[in-house]
């Protein structure tokens, strides 16, 4: 794949959380192709090691780190290890997150805490762990992966929508606090993205038709679509962009 934004990320250290599968797996590979050194983190270290092997085979630099987003101690340990082994973090891509369609009347406290801890609490403490180092150097980029579901309601996704709405406000608040000290904070909000994890639903013609009926562009997103937005917000060209949500939704939220 050709570079999308020149050499902005050449030799910079980019951390991608939740990189063991899906969007994160693809993002890490594309970011490495931009010349960045990549640190990938998740609970599934085996999958991360395979990702790192693939990136190295393509001539890139990648190291894998264990990370449990629901455990603040694990977050702090992980980021300390990344900086100790690979150096200062230039860009954090907070990709880790999950959704689990459940009718609102059937949601349990466990369901709520499980998704909120991963999608919102984990995102904040990753921002904090990377942000402290960035603030000390007065330079850094944070890109949080939100969702179109942060601004439009999706049935049976009460917790997911609420948590991603929280990510949007967290992004704005951190941008207000940190941008004057050299750290920009933004979010990317994709529509449905075709990955191995979403294939079962998107391969259902009825479900896909319902999705496409809401997307003026006429198709679901790809990982490359999401990566283009992430690369822009991580680039030098986005120096004046902070506190924003960049929707990659094919026009869903414009209707």
Residue 246 structure tokens: 């960049």
- The answer to whether residue 160 is catalytic is yes
Exposure b/e, 109-124, CB count within 10 A at least 16 = b: eeeeeebbbbbbbbbb
| Count of alpha carbons within 13 angstroms of residue 116, beta-carbon side | 11
Q: What whole-number distance in Å separates Cα of residue 55 and Cα of residue 7?
A: 18
DSSP 3-state assignment of 249? Answer: coil
**DSSP helix/strand/coil, 66:** strand
One DSSP character per residue, 169-222 reads HHHHHHHHHHGGGTEEEEEEEE--B--TTTHHHHTSHHHHHHHHTT-TTSS-B-
Q: Give burial (CB, 10 Å; 0-12/13-18/19+) of 208.
A: middle
Q: Which of 25, 65, 125, 160 is catalytic?
A: 160
d(CA 241, CA 194): 28
Residues serving a catalytic function are 160
């Amino acid at each position: 794949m050709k570079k999308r934004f020149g050499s902005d990320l050449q030799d910079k250290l980019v951390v991608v959380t939740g990189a063991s599968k899906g969007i994160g797996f693809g993002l890490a590979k594309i970011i490495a192709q931009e010349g960045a050194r990549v640190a990938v983190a998740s609970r599934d270290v085996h999958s991360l090691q395979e990702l790192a092997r693939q990136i190295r085979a393509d001539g890139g630099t990648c190291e894998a780190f264990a990370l449990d987003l629901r455990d603040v101690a694990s977050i702090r340990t992980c980021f300390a290890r990344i900086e100790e082994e690979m150096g200062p973090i230039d860009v954090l891509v907070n990709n880790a997150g999950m959704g689990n369609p459940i009718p609102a009347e059937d949601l349990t406290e466990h369901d709520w805490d499980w998704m909120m801890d991963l999608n919102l609490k984990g995102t904040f403490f990753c921002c904090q762990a990377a942000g402290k180092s960035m603030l000390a150097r007065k330079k850094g980029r944070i890109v949080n992966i939100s969702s179109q579901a942060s601004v439009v309601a999706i049935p049976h996704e009460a917790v997911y929508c609420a948590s991603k709405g929280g990510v949007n406000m967290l992004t704005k608040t951190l941008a207000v606090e940190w941008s004057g000290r050299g750290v920009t904070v933004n979010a990317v909000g994709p529509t449905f993205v075709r990955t191995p994890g979403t294939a079962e639903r998107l391969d259902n013609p009825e479900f896909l038709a319902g999705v496409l009926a809401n997307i003026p562009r006429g198709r679901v997103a790809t990982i490359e679509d999401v990566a283009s937005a992430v690369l822009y917000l991580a680039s030098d060209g986005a120096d004046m962009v902070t506190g924003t949500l960049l929707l990659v939704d094919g026009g869903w939220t414009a209707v």
